[in-house]
Structure 1
Amino acid sequence: MIVLCGCGITVSLMHTLVAPLLPEISHTMHLSQDAASWLLTVTMLAGAVCAPVCGRLGDMLGKRRMLAIALAIMSAGSLLGALSWSFESLLGARLLQGAAFGVLPLGISILKDELPADRVMAGTATMSSTLGVGGAIGMPLAGVIAQLMNWHAVFWAATAVSLLVLALVVAFVPESPVRSGGRFDVVGALGLAAGLVSLLMAVSRGGTWGWGSPAIVGLFAGAAVAMTLWAVHQLRVRQPLVDLRTSARPVVLLTNTATTLVGVGMFASFMMTPLMLQASTATGHGHGVSVMVAGLCMVPMGLGMLFFSPLSAKLSARRGAHVTLLVGTLVMVVGNVAQALLPGSIPLLMVVLMVLSIGTALCFSAMPTLIMAWVPVTETASANSLNSLLRTIGTSTCAAIGGTLLAVYTTRVDGAVVPSSTGFQVTFWMAAAASLAAAGLALAVTAVIRRSARTTAEQTDVTGTVAARTGMMAQ
């Protein structure tokens, strides 16, 4: 479990380590800010496409094998980034690093197969929390390394860590005995890739290219057509990439939908808080700190997720994962409302971030548990990968809308145009609304589970009564 959690932290680090390096990379390579932002976009696209593919191949061929392959690809990408000589080579490095996004759902599925039943919830909760831990410490860590040396050193450090976790996986993680076998759905993988790339490109670039521009409208239309054809193919093929019939089960469908909304509710703080911390105090909402200090202020949020994950496992064991999800979403509502009120001091802001970390930890631990309880044991990796993909769609949507709001609501400070308080407030209110909607879905999940339990109990009573009468007649 320790090794797999290390893998989760490492992969989430890869997704955030470039963010504080963009200004230096833009200056060194003479790039515009829009061009440099592709170093973030391409990683997200690669991760979205590779996660379901890794999940399905893990169910078929072995989860540990696919985990090692994904980490090897990530290591190659990190090494290429350290040796990069042009923007194109660096872009390729980030593409390879993004291919490891499937590590987290693969690790959760391995824990489900290998741990004793009474430790699965705790293991899943801890593994899920690593996404927040890596995301929170990635920015300050990369900023410190880049400040002491240069951005190439960040990739060298990433290479060393990637190779270390790969060696630990080979040495200590057993291969899961649960495999589905079968044939890989190549057509389904290509169709899903086309749909996801079109959708996430439109979402991530809409604020830059214009939401009503022909390119963005065309991408949304292409995504709709591609995903429709893909869904038809998945329903017809014997061994689909994603079993849509299983995904349509009420608990799975409601949990996956809630996952997208939780992604929105969680990512608003990850995206907006560093900007608020670095903004000038003259704006009325900024705190005027450096990039490194802003990153350090985010660390408690990641550590809070790690420390509160055991609590979420205990709550799920006693009351059920559906109750944990409901409590987590409600806590996220409170945290986002507090953020929308724009805390006036850094200590108060860190308290609010801790509240959000508790809610996020509860949600992240509950969602995989719910998914794995309602899908066949041979499909846990692909089901968790789909859940992770939907969370990515939520965070990408939050980033796109939040960026647009900051561009729309501006003010002037010392002659410069900067985001106003309104843009931050509207974004946090949006995140609070998304969290509240996720709470509504969690209530629906609770209702479905309780109705299913009542039905099962009634069937058991009927079966027991029939058996008793049959026994009496025999006597």
Structure 2
Amino acid sequence: MQDETSGAAADESSDGTHSSWTRRVIGYVAILILVNVMVDTVLAAPTFVLPELKDAFHTDQLAWIDSSAMLAGAMWAPLLGKSADIHGKRRVLVTALLVAGIGGVVCLLAPNIGVFVLGRALQGSAVAAMFLSVAIIRDLCTSRFAMVVTGVVTSGSAVFGIVSPFVLEGATAVFGWRFVFVVSAAFAAVAAFCVRRVIPNSRIRTPGTVDLRGGLALGGGLAGVLVYISLGQELGWAGAVPLAILTGGVALLLVWFFVLSRIPEPVIDLRGISLALGLGLLVVVTGTGAYRSMLSLFSLLVDVSPDEGLGYGIAGPGALGLMFGIPSIGIMLGGVVAGTIATRLGPAWPLGAGVALGTTASLVMLSAGTASLPVAVVCSFMLSLTAGSLVTSGFNLASVLAPPERQASVSGIVMVMVAIGSVTMSFIGSAILGATNTVVDGETVNSSTGIHAYIAVAAGVFALAAVPTGFLIHRMRGHGTRAAHKPRGVVRT
């Protein structure tokens, strides 16, 4: 008994948070990694079967199939983040996991594309699971230790990603595309059970109420603008329906910005976003958008053989596993290394390193990788390092700039930026490919011009992300280290 007491005292700070690795902390982390594995099955696993889904639902709207869950996540995140600060992070996390599981079942049984997209919208609640897992870590760990743990939690699910492409490639060949959603629903149920049984209740809560009107207005406005980007490709950018949706979305955003964001307890408090956090959000929205668009492109390249003479294509034995399995190591390394560096230099520097890697990988892919599997694998690995670094550093930056009672809300803002960037770039990429299609032997296929234009746009977005990154590093100079060592406070800059 005496040893246990002294061990607990050594592990926990004066406010009860953990400051080092123990069996209890490892157990918490294992459960939260399981949660993020479920998130990966929602967001990434469907990219493995995009061609099969395209044929099953007789649609060319691959961006909707791929990004509808992330789009819904942008709508879910503000409400769930605010609710978690008020009602408890564990309770909201369990609810989000159960809703995502129901969405997986709907996708599994969907008879048409409309019902399928509804299921993906329900699965979008899983997006909340990632930022809530980070907010829970901030409750359980001291500030400096939490940066490392955040890297492990946000990127640890990549271990599953190393083997999942090989497993899914064989399983979907036998059972079809529905197998992906069986796995997703099962992971959601198991993760909800484990979180409820193992993760402790939130110690820090914020008194107040959830602004449902503001959440619906903000979510509806974002959805309207993003849906316009999608429908513009098919119905015309000046078409009556797309313009009506865009007008409605912009109107809702204006109402939220000028009216609902200025009430005493808005769903997102813009007044609490510092210049440094704003710069970080710009980096996240551009960098993660560029990475997610490249991930979607890889799934198309893997489906085309270079022997077809289209000027692109990397299909071959084991190509799917190589493109989505081995690079998963990069996500894990990127997240863990970014979290470790943040404890010494602050989160701005690893955020900048991620942008630099992403830019380099995109340029190499553009020049030599669209028809070479080895080059494409190396670029995919570099982009995975980018993904791990950007997500981990984005959450770490938000955590050091937000007070403890607003961790879930601010982490939710980061997730909204991830969702907006991912959805916008996927739709833009889909529009580029659709506008440059060519016909070969009576079949409409993506042209080499479209593929290379797609990659060039992603590289350009990465380059744009470097601008706010430079300002952020300058702004955070000297602040990052103090923030990393500050026990539970907030750094305003």
**TM-score, reference length from structure 1:** 0.87
Query: Is 2:282 the counterpart of 1:257?
Result: yes
Q: Which amino acid aligns with 1:341?
A: S
Report the CA distance between 1:407 and its aligned residue. Answer: 2.2
How is 1:397-416 mapped onto 2 (pairs within 5 angstroms)? 397-416=424-443
In the comparison of the two structures, how many residue pairs are matched?
452
When the two chains are superposed, the root-mean-square deviation of aligned CA atoms in Å is: 2.8
Please give the per-residue CA displacement for 1:96-153, whole angstroms capped at 9, x wherever unaligned.
Answer: 2222211111100110110233321112122333577778876665443222224444
* 1:380 corresponds to 2:440: no
Letter in 2 for 1:349: A
Return the match for 2:230 from 179, 204, 208.
204
| Shift in Å, 1:88 | 5.6
Identity of aligned residues (%): 24
Contact 2:335 2:388 in 1 (8 A): yes
Match of 1:272 among 297, 300, 309: 297
CA contact (8 A) 2:361 2:383 kept: yes
1:340-379 pair list within 5 angstroms: 340-343=366-369, 344-379=371-406
Asked if structure 2 preserves the Cα contact closer than 8 Å seen for 1:261 and 1:438, the reply is yes
Instruction: Output one character per residue of 1:37-77: Cα deviation in whole Å (capped at 9) or x when no partner.
Output: 75545423322211111111001110011001111112222
Q: Are 2:149 and 1:123 equivalent residues in the alignment?
A: yes
Which ranges of 4 or more aligned residues in structure 1 deviate by more than 6 Å? 131-139, 451-454
User: 2:162 and 2:319 mapped to 1: Cα distance?
Assistant: 12
- Number of the residue aligned with 1:8: 36
CA distance in 1, matches of 2:36, 2:474: 32
Q: Counterpart amino acid of 1:308?
A: G
Give structure 2 stretches of 5+ with no counterpart.
1-28, 484-493
The aligned amino acid for 1:386 is I
**Which amino acid in the other structure matches residue 387 of structure 1?**
V
Q: Aligned equivalents of 1:314 and 1:66: distance in 2?
A: 29
User: Within 5 A, what are the aligned runs for 1:232-251?
Assistant: 232-247=258-273, 249-251=274-276
Deviates most, 328-337 or 312-321: 312-321
Q: Please say if residues 22 and 37 of structure 1, whose CA atoms lie closer than 8 Å, have aligned partners that are also in contact.
A: no
Contact map agreement 1:372 1:380 (CA 8 A) in 2: yes
Q: 1:77 aligns with which of 103, 111, 116?
A: 103
Matches within 5 A, 1:429-448: 429-448=456-475
- Pair member with larger Rg: 1
1:450 maps to which residue?
477
Post-superposition Cα deviations, 1:299-350, rounded to whole Å, max 9, x if no partner, equal 2222211133221122212222111111211111111111111324212221
Q: 1:149 pairs with 175, 184, 190, which one? A: 175
Distance, in Å, in 2 between the alignment partners of 1:219 and 1:377 is 38
| C-alpha distance 138-95 of structure 1, shift in aligned 2 (>3 A) | farther
Match of 1:472 in 2: none
SS in 2 for 1:239: coil
Compare 422-431 and 322-331 and name the one that shifted more: 422-431
Q: Which of 8, 17, 27 lines up with 2:45 in the alignment?
A: 17
Matched, 1:427 2:487: no
CA pair 136-370 structure 1, distance change in 2 beyond 3 A: same
In the alignment, what sits opposite 2:333?
Answer: 307
| Conserved? CA contact 2:292–2:425, under 8 Å | yes
- Give, in whole Å, the separation in 1 of the partners of 2:403 and 2:226: 29
- Paired with 1:259 and 1:378, the residues of 2 have a C-alpha distance of 23
Distance 1:393 1:132 in 2: 22
Q: Is the 8 A contact 1:285 1:342 kept in 2?
A: no
Q: Could you tell me the TM-score, scaled by structure 2's length?
A: 0.84
Matched, 1:99 2:125: yes
Whole-angstrom CA distance in 2 between matches of 1:271 and 1:36: 9
Structure 1, residues 401-432: CA drift from partner, whole Å, max 9, x if none? 21122223344544544222222222222222
Could you tell which deviates more after superposition, 137-146 or 52-61? 137-146
Secondary structure of residue in 2 paired with 1:278: coil
SS in structure 2 at match of 1:241: coil
